[in-house]
Amino acid sequence: MKKRKTPRAVSLCLILFTLMPGAPHLFAQVQQSRDETVYYIRHITFYREGISQPYALRNAAELTEGEALIGKEVLEQYVQEKKQLLLNQRALASVRVEYILAEPDGDGRIPVDLTIYTKDTWNIIALPYFKYDSNTGLELSAKARDYNFLGTLQPLKIDLGYTIDREPLNELDFKQGTLFIELDSNFPFRAFDLNWDLDSDHTFGYTYQYGFEYKTTTGLGISFPVGFTTLTVKAYQGFYVNEENSSEYKATEGERFADYWYLSNWFQTDWEIPTGLKVNGLGKLTYTPSARFQYNYRPWGDIGQQRIGPTGTLSHTLSFGRTDWVGNFRRGLEVSFANTNTHNFYKETWSRNITATIMGHYPVFSWLGLSSRLYGVYYFDDPNTSGAEPIRGILSSSVTAQYGLYLNTNFSFRVIRFVPSEWFGKKWMALFDFEQQWSPFFDVALVKDPVHGREFSLQGAITTAGLEVVTFPYFMRSFYVRISVGFDIQEALRIKGIPSGNYRSVFIGIGHHY
């Protein structure tokens, strides 16, 4: 068998990470401070203004009674870290953490009683919504959101609207669109001294040509402590009616699944294993192996070539890092290396890839933040037909990637701070307070594209640029809107103008690109 070479994209990621300023000093074994006083968390008390539940707050801040801390400085760092972890929850408007030291126990340890004060932001919103993505098409909808559903710090999403893909939209063939209703919820809870998670997604749709369609998935997960590790087991049931076939099967099997409905079950385990290495200020290096088995079936019917065959997936992730919110800028570093291997036992086919990601954010001033992401991927089997998805400025489908290295860079300037509630001293005007950031971006991609004949080289690099405008309402931290417009620089220079088609991308929606 011919020996495979090390994927160049991943190798370059490793080299660049090694060369990062301070990277060799990130990893350090946990060391005791000179102060040998031992403190431990005895009690945790919450005072909540809003509906956020203590269980959800404990999970978000990773709080446990009995945790030991060596030295007063470590205790102070612990308190600040827990405060920041809670502030990272955009469903909370403000957080305050205080502590009281009790008299030392007989063994000399000092009990610490934590008191945590939280105030919810406004988390319920219903509004008309417009989303356009030049990769996927148009969505016109009414969206209802509860970003702190039942106090769990998890969102409940309800959408009612109309969506149409890019191709029929370009032809103004609106009959090809879909009317839809979507409900998406995730409900974590604690029972029998274990952490549980109930996940439920439903989509109802109607198309002029193909009629009614429906899909639902419901899953239950349980997390078990295994020594210093955490083992999570999940089971899911899916039900699909009149599902659209993928593009590669439409020529042979038609637009829709011929037997109308089918079922799917899958079982998944994730094992979170801390390695014992602590990354300074960014948490612990964690190894997470995962396994998944999925089976699609149709009682008394045919499942079709696209969906046939049980599949098994083994994956591995090695990661560390954390991203904090500082106002409406982000600060932090996240690094991950992952490998995914999926095998179809009926077709005897593989889908394997390896990825590496380095993502950092830094607020330089109160009005300027820098963000960047370096992402490398190698597909061992079929190439990815949406190979330009990691970058902005061109259509995702314009590149078919066997492997690639992608760099995103943003320079975010706070251009507008509109606060009439402060200017006029009227609290009711806080509804209109907002901040707006304008963020020029520059993206680069080196890819091996076997379909379009592009080589992985600097000469074949794809370079794009554009502008993103992100608006943050002050009264609602959990919601913000992004408008992004970008284009291919080489094509713009060639035609001496703003490109169109595959060489331009537009996005209007919610959330950051990365």
Mean pLDDT of the chain: 91
Distance CA 98, CA 117 (A): 8
**Cα-based distances in Å from 144 to 17, 53, 161, 393, 445:** 41, 21, 11, 30, 37
- pLDDT greater than 90 at residue 409: yes
- Tell me the mean pLDDT in the region 80-91: 95
- pLDDT greater than 70 at residue 4: no
- pLDDT greater than 60 at residue 63: yes
What pLDDT shows up at residue 48? 97
- pLDDT greater than 50 at residue 258: yes
Cα 254 to its chain centre, rounded Å, is: 33
- Tell me the mean pLDDT in the region 53-59: 95
What pLDDT shows up at residue 13? 47
pLDDT band at 33 (very low <50, low <70, confident <90, very high): very low
Question: Taking a C-beta distance cutoff of 8 angstroms, is the pair 462, 488 a contact?
Answer: yes
Residue with tokens 């080299």: 15
Distance CA 224, CA 57 (A): 19
What pLDDT shows up at residue 12? 44
**Residue partners of 110: CB distance under 8 A and separation at least 6:** 37, 38, 39, 40, 101, 102, 104
Distance CA 491, CA 500 (A): 9
What pLDDT shows up at residue 22? 43
Among residues 43, 30, 42, 97, which one has the least CA distance to residue 70?
Answer: 30
What pLDDT shows up at residue 303? 87
Q: Give the tokens for residue 423.
A: 């200017």
Question: Taking a C-beta distance cutoff of 8 angstroms, is the pair 504, 134 a contact?
Answer: yes
What pLDDT shows up at residue 36? 86
Q: How are strands ordered across the β-sheet holding 110-120?
A: 68-70, 38-49, 110-120, 92-101
Q: Residue-wise over 424-438: b if at least 16 C-beta within 10 A, else e?
A: eeeeeeeeebbbbbe
Ramachandran class of 282: left when φ > 0, alpha when ψ lies in -120 to 50, beta otherwise: alpha
CATH number attached to the domain at 32-120: 3.10.20.310
- pLDDT greater than 60 at residue 263: yes
Question: Taking a C-beta distance cutoff of 8 angstroms, is the pair 471, 480 a contact?
Answer: yes
List, in sequence order, every residue forming a beta bridge with 43; answer none if it has no partner. Answer: 113
Q: What is the pLDDT of residues 153-181, one digit of tens each?
A: 999 999 999 999 888 888 888 888 999 99
- Tell me the mean pLDDT in the region 411-435: 95
Among residues 437, 428, 429, which one has the least CA distance to residue 327?
Answer: 437
Among residues 361, 359, 376, which one has the least CA distance to residue 319?
Answer: 359
**Cα-based distances in Å from 381 to 288, 354, 447:** 23, 11, 15
- Tell me the mean pLDDT in the region 348-361: 97
Identity at 97, one-letter amino acid code: V
- Tell me the mean pLDDT in the region 299-315: 90
Question: Taking a C-beta distance cutoff of 8 angstroms, is the pair 493, 466 a contact?
Answer: no
| φ/ψ of residue 61, rounded to 5 | -95, 0
**Residue partners of 62: CB distance under 8 A and separation at least 6:** 82, 85
The helix-helix angle for 54-61 and 72-87 (nearest 10°) equals 120
Radius of gyration of the CA atoms of the chain, in A: 25
What pLDDT shows up at residue 31? 47
pLDDT cut 70: percent of the chain above it: 94
Top mean-pLDDT range of 13-27, 273-287, 388-402 = 388-402
- pLDDT greater than 90 at residue 51: yes
Among residues 274, 228, 277, which one has the least CA distance to residue 29?
Answer: 277
Instruction: Give Dmax over CA atoms of the chain in angstroms.
Output: 80
Delimiting residues of CATH 3.10.20.310 domain(s) in the chain: 32-120
Question: Taking a C-beta distance cutoff of 8 angstroms, is the pair 223, 190 a contact?
Answer: no
- pLDDT greater than 70 at residue 401: yes
- Three-class HEC string of 71-98: CHHHHHHHHHHHHHHHHCCCCEEEEEEE
